[in-house]
Chains A and B, each alone.
Chain A
Amino acid sequence: MTENPKLTKKDFVSNQEVKWCPGCGDYAILSSVQLAMAQLGVQPHNVAVISGIGCSSRFPYYVDSFGMHSIHGRAPAVTSGVKIANPALDVWMITGDGDSLSIGGNHFIHILRRNIDINIVLFNNQIYGLTKGQYSPTSKQGTVTKSSPYGSLDRTFNPAELAMGSGATFYARTMDTDPKHMIETFKAAHAHKGTSLVEVLQNCVIFNDKVHEQYTARATRDDYSVRLEAGKPLVFGKDKNKGLILKGFSLEVVTIGEDGITEADLVVHDPSSRALAQMLADLHAPEKPVAIGVLRQVEEEVYETELVKQMDSVVAKKGKMNIKELINSGETWTV
């Protein structure tokens, strides 16, 4: 018997009944994460899945690993402690647009800033589901909900731009309608050292149905989204005949073959470019294709690795100490 036998998806499925609404995008995300875990060869006992509050945050109950369904918005802080205390763990954080971008906005930006090596899966359905349908920070302005019967007034948060501003070292976007892409994206996030943020465009079938339809539905998504691949030109469209060029300070849509445009004129994707990542983050359908894939990836110092190094260097310099030595050190006197 090998120490770590090859696992399948079912090794990551808990005995708890999944209680999301029928047709919810969350099912596909759960399945994709479980498949990715199996394919990555991680062991359930070394995995910790931490969430906040909201529909998405029930996720840990359904994964047969260590897990914690914490409190609203605080998953990044809990996760930080979990990973710092045991850097050997494979730590995943599950959150939603309300959990991370509203009530937990502060913790969300700071985990990205610190670059703690965890994988964040941000379910973005542009609505509050569990509290039954209020607008969220990612809802479009004017969204009509029970708490905004005349349309929401709040301007919209773009999670990608917020992440870039917070110093995210890995940011990717995927969609609940494309399990294959989700699995590949989760694997890429897992491979990245540092905080990996994956925004999943997820459909809330009850309160915000089809909000991502245009750029996520099989029939139309090729025309309204661009799949990013490092080193490859930004091509999209059902017929692969559209692309993005740099015009001034923004990306403009062109048709290959028209006006003398060839593939060589298109912007080549480079996830290490912050400027490009920010332009990609700012692409909105239907005028422009929504960027899908890894928008940004750079190697930066990882918090817990640096902490271990710092602790080791202090030990190297001062030697290990125990409490007895400490209390008897320095200025003491004997009576």
Chain B
Amino acid sequence: MNSTEIDYVTIRFSGDSGDGMQLTGTQFSNTSAMMGNDLSTFPDFPAEIRAPQGTIAGISGFQVNFGAVDIFTHGDEPHALVAMNPAALKANLADIKLGGTIIVNNDAFTELNLKKAGYTSDPLESDEMTKYKLVKANLTSQTIEALKDIDIDKKSKSRCKNFYALGMTYFIYTRDMKPTLKWIEQKFAKYPDLVKANSIALKTGYNFAETIEVINEPYIIKPAAIEPGTYRQINGNTATAWGLMCAAEKAELELFLGSYPITPATDILHELAKFKHLGVKTFQAEDEIAGICSAIGASFSGDLGLTTSSGPGIALKGEALNLAIMLEIPLVVVNVQRGGPSTGLPTKTEQSDLLQALGGRNGDSPMIIVAAKSPSDSFHMAYEAARLSIEHMTPCMLLTDGYIANGSEPWKLPNTDTDYRKIKVQRASESEIVDGKYLPYLRDAKTLVRKWAIPGMKGFEHRVGGLEKQVDTGNVCYEPANHETMTHIRRDKVQNVQNNIPKQEVNGKESGDILLITWGGTYGACHSAMHTLIAEGKNVSHMHISYINPMPSNVGTIINGFKKVIVAELNCGQMKDVINARFNCNASGYNKVQGLPFKIAEIKGMINRELEQL
């Protein structure tokens, strides 16, 4: 059989939230990663665990973009859709590239399901579908038929249909079935019948696609030119958890997580809860406030305190964040941003908590803020958040978002011995004891960082609290001049972090017509778009900011080198306002608040339009 070589393909798997689409997509991704492709994935699931079957509200999707070229996003327009029922078709059709392949589970296109999806007639017979390559497969009945000799009930057989569908896509895109077969064996090791059933479903689906010649020439997607190294697939939440464990190890501190479950941050708690043998203590608190307060208590005792949440939870933690700012102790806070305000869009992505992070507390309350730009970068930035918090004795907030938290990509494993240095704990010593008294708020003259004395250290007994502190002694003090001094110290201390972070880098030239500024999880789409435009010779550059407060010292200089500055972000212009306030550069915003990430084409189109108007 002939085959067609292509650079990259985007596939979306979609079905009821009980159809196993996340698992199917993950298997496809892992196999592709093992085959040497670069890739990026994005799961898109409903807030409801099991919304009514067959309805659009209950649709769970998983998109994977994989290729022989560098991949930075989950793909703009899927080339193929696997739709397990009419609702999945209806919810996704508009996103699919014209001419793309659509595999539907024909068995699910019953009158009842059509009605539940809001169709008045069978869409498979409509003119609309002639714009695509439609593959009608009786996924349910064929799977059940293929498994007729296996001794499990019909419902369990029907559940294997996702592997049947996966098998079909494996044929179309010439995927190796071995990694998935091996995974099935391990996953269902205790249930030999299920190993057999799922393996047969996968193979039968593959053979079926071949037999009906679902495609004349299966696609070949060669391995990407990937930097040599050892890789693994990782999503942002796992990477965040691991980065924090790495930091704790490098600081020789025990990691204490106080957390309350909240979408989309909960998986960090799940992940860390596994690692008692790495010395991690996880405390599922009674609420968000107890989550952060227990972490503050743990830091006070000498652990690395950590709390993880999303916007609404961060709102509840505000008062405690300020306590940690006053106590001047390490505390890492992770905000996996989701659509807001209020409960908003729990499972959708957004970048609208930037101003909350910067200023969502009473008083002049400066906090270090960093942001991760991709799933794997979450490891690095989580380490950085902990490093800065420990070295500067003040809380640091790491911003990620639902897109990179749940999205995954291959991660070139760092050498943790050489790539990540030890983190120096600011332990108190005799030099802070003056006239027999320990002075807890004595500081390093240059960094303004105080030392850390923990219970158990004889001679270092002291009291801290949320009330204003007297300079040096840390005693409660209401004097006007002292408050002003302390307010300035807290501000300058955070500003001094600038001396402990890397200089800002720019993709493209350091001056030109247009500078695109981005931060956080929009990196992939924006980088891809700008990379192409720069390669095309356009006079544009891209600056992606990872260190948000303080920003690197050269950000202003870079901004000054451009005629026009555009800040693209998934909110109504929060970073744009910050940039304008700090650098007075008349930056304009490019914004999207649909709970979805940017598409590469959106950014490219926008920059091209802006170039024309210059």
* Chain A residues with a Cβ under 8 A of chain B: 14-16, 43-48, 50, 53, 60-61, 63-72, 74, 76-86, 88-89, 106-107, 110, 307, 310-311, 314-315, 318-324, 326-328, 330-335
Closest 4 pairs (CB-CB, A-B): A81-B297, A69-B465, A77-B293, A81-B294
A307 / chain B contacts, CB cutoff of 8 Å: 281
Kindly state the separation between the CA atoms of A136 and B290 in the bound complex, as whole angstroms.
22
For B302, what are the chain A residues with a Cβ–Cβ distance below 8 Å?
A: 85-86
Q: Does B228 contact A (CB under 8 A)?
A: yes
Q: A78 — which chain B residues lie within 8 A by C-beta?
A: 293-294, 296-297, 300
How far is A107 from B296 in the complex, measured between Cα atoms in Å? 15
In-complex Cβ contact of B289 among A68, A77, A80, A310 (8 A)? A77
Q: Is the CB of B319 within 8 A of A71?
A: yes
Q: Is the CB of B228 within 8 A of A335?
A: yes
Q: Is the CB of B296 within 8 A of A70?
A: yes
Give every chain A residue within 8 A of B446 (Cβ-Cβ): none
Q: Tell me the interface secondary structure of chain B in the complex.
A: mixed
| B363: Cβ under 8 A from any A Cβ | no
Known contacts A110-B290, A322-B278, A331-B30; decide if A84 and B465 are in contact (CB<8 Å): no
Task: Give the chain A neighbours of B464 by CB distance below 8 A.
Answer: 67-69
> Once the chains bind, are B277 and A319 in contact (CB under 8 Å)?
yes
B465 and A74 within 8 A (CB): no
A-chain residues with CB within 8 Å of residue B281 when the two chains form the complex: 84-85, 307, 311
**A107-B286, A311-B276, A330-B232 known; A50-B297 Cβ under 8 A:** yes
Whether B232 and A327, one on each chain, are in contact in the complex, defined by CB atoms closer than 8 angstroms, is: yes
**CA of A320 to CA of B198 in the docked complex: distance in angstroms?**
35
Of the candidates A43, A48, A84, the one whose C-beta lies within 8 Å of that of B283 is A84
Contact B283 A67 (CB under 8 A): no
- Docked-complex contact B246 and A323, CB < 8 angstroms: yes
Contact of A48 with B301 in the complex, beta carbons under 8 Å: yes
B298 CB–A CB distance under 8 Å:
yes
Whether the pair A79, B297 counts as a contact (CB closer than 8 A) is yes
For the complex, what is the distance from the CA of A302 to the CA of B413, rounded to whole Å? 40
CB atoms of B278 and A84 under 8 A apart: no
For B301, give its contact among A69, A70, A89, A322 (CB under 8 Å). Answer: A89
A107 in contact with B290 (CB, 8 Å): yes
| Contact of A335 (CB < 8 Å), options: B229, B283, B465 | B229
The 8 Å CB contact of B298, one of A50, A81, A319, is A81
Task: Enumerate chain B interface residues (CB-CB to A < 8 A).
Answer: 30, 33-34, 36, 223, 226-233, 242, 245-246, 249, 254, 256, 258, 275-279, 281, 283, 285-287, 289-291, 293-303, 305, 319-320, 323, 327, 413-414, 416-417, 437, 454-467, 475-476
Residues of B within 8 A of A319 (CB): 277
| Inter-chain contact A328/B413, CB cutoff 8 Å | yes
Q: Name the prevailing secondary structure of the A interface residues.
A: mixed
- Other-chain residue from B30, B233, B256, B460 in contact with A85 (beta carbon distance below 8 A): B256
* Residues of chain B within 8 A of A53, CB atoms compared: 466
* Contact (Cβ within 8 A) B289 A74: yes
Chain A residues lying within 8 Å of B465, measured Cβ to Cβ, are 60-61, 67-70
The reply to whether B297 and A69 form a contact with Cβ atoms under 8 Å apart is no
A67 surroundings in chain B (CB, below 8 A): 462-465
A335 touches B460 (CB 8 A): no
Which residues in B have their C-beta under 8 angstroms from that of A72?
Answer: 319
Residue of A nearest to B291 (CB): A77
* B245 surroundings in chain A (CB, below 8 A): 323, 326
Chain B nearest CB from A64 CB (Å) reads 6
- 23 A-B pairs within 8 Å (CB atoms) are namely A45-B461, A50-B297, A64-B461, A69-B466, A70-B465, A70-B466, A80-B297, A81-B294, A81-B297, A81-B301, A82-B297, A82-B300, A82-B455, A86-B455, A106-B286, A314-B276, A320-B277, A323-B278, A326-B275, A331-B233, A332-B413, A333-B232, A335-B228
| A173–chain B nearest beta-carbon distance, Å | 25
Residue from the set B276, B277, B291, B467 with the largest chain A CB neighbour count within 10 Å: B277
* 8 Å CB contact of A88 from B303, B413, B456: B456
Give which listed residue, B249, B276, B283, contacts A310 with CB less than 8 A: B276
Q: Are A321 and B275 in contact (CB under 8 A)?
A: yes
- B461 contacts which of A44, A107, A318, A326 (Cβ < 8 Å)? A44
Instruction: Provide the residues of chain B in CB contact with A327, threshold 8 Å.
Output: 232, 242, 413-414, 416
A50, closest chain B residue (CB): B297
CB <8 Å contact, A45 and B231: no
Are A106 and B287 touching (Cβ within 8 A)? yes
User: Contact at A81–B283, with CB atoms within 8 Å?
Assistant: yes
Q: How far is the CB of A53 from chain B (nearest CB, A)?
A: 8
Asked if residues B278 and A321 are in contact (CB atoms below 8 Å), the reply is yes
